[in-house]
């Protein structure tokens, strides 16, 4: 995801971009990393995997916010595939609302702990390719429905003919969504 930084830097000139790698090499995609071993898309396995990876990411975020004197209002979470699952997992469970959550080609891995109405509800953008062979586009529709049911303001975009990647339109939409989220947040 750090490859987004140059494309977004002009619109976000005072922004620090950080992109932690998942701790494991991804077996499905040789050059990638993963936060947990993905053996399938069973809802219980996804929810368990995302929950198990969350403490390490939360600790990283806490360290970086403290290091740079920032708060959740200064934080946008952006992820691709399993990273999108983690952006949603973390972004919906932080103590205070983050400025924005953008998920590319991912899904809400579970809503455990979000049943009560007192959790932060950051704005969410989900972008998915209609030709994604890894995470089916139905995941966007399912996630959108779940997020709306939870009272979360969610925007979606389908990238027609796009496989498991981010196209230029999705890149621009994500950048604009983050820019708007950071501008709305009180710092």
pLDDT tens readout for residues 20-34:
877 676 765 556 767
- Cα-flanking dihedrals φ and ψ of residue 178, to 5°? -65, -45
Are 40 and 109 in contact, with CB atoms under 8 Å apart? no
Q: From CA 23, how far away is CA 129, in angstroms rounded? A: 26
pTM of the model: 0.92
- Residue of 89, 110, 49, 98 lying closest to 70 (CA atoms): 98
Average pLDDT of the residues in 152-176 = 96
What is the chain's mean pLDDT, rounded? Answer: 89
> Looking at the predicted structure, is the pLDDT value of residue 118 above 90?
no
Environment class of residue 28 by beta-carbon count within 10 Å: exposed (0-12), middle (13-18) or buried (19+)?
exposed
- Give Cα 53 to chain centroid, integer Å: 14
Query: Regarding predicted confidence, which is higher, 113 or 131?
Result: 131
Average pLDDT for residues 32-55, to the nearest whole number? 77
How far, in Å, CA of 85 to CA of 126, rounded? Answer: 11
Classified as helix, coil or strand, 80 is strand
Q: Are 104 and 134 in contact (CB under 8 A)?
A: no
CA atoms of 90 and 61, how far apart (whole Å): 10
CA distance 185 to 100: 9
């Amino acid at each position: 995801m750090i490859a987004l930084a140059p494309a977004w830097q002009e619109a976000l000139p005072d922004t620090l971009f950080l992109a932690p790698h998942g701790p494991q090499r991804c077996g499905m995609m040789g050059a990638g990393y993963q936060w947990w071993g993905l053996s399938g898309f069973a809802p219980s396995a996804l929810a368990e995997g995302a929950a198990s990876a969350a403490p390490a990411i939360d600790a990283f975020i806490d360290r970086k916010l403290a290091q740079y004197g920032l708060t959740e209002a200064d934080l946008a979470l952006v992820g691709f595939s399993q990273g999108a699952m983690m952006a949603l997992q973390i972004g919906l469970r932080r103590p205070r609302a983050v400025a924005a959550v953008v998920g590319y080609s991912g899904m809400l891995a579970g809503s455990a702990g979000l049943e009560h109405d007192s959790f932060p509800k950051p704005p969410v953008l989900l972008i998915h390719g209609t030709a994604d062979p890894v995470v089916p586009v139905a995941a966007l529709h399912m996630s959108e429905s779940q997020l709306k049911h939870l009272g979360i303001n969610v925007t979606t975009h389908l990238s027609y003919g796009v496989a498991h990647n981010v196209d230029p339109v999705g890149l621009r939409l994500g950048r604009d969504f983050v820019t708007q989220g950071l501008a709305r947040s009180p710092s």
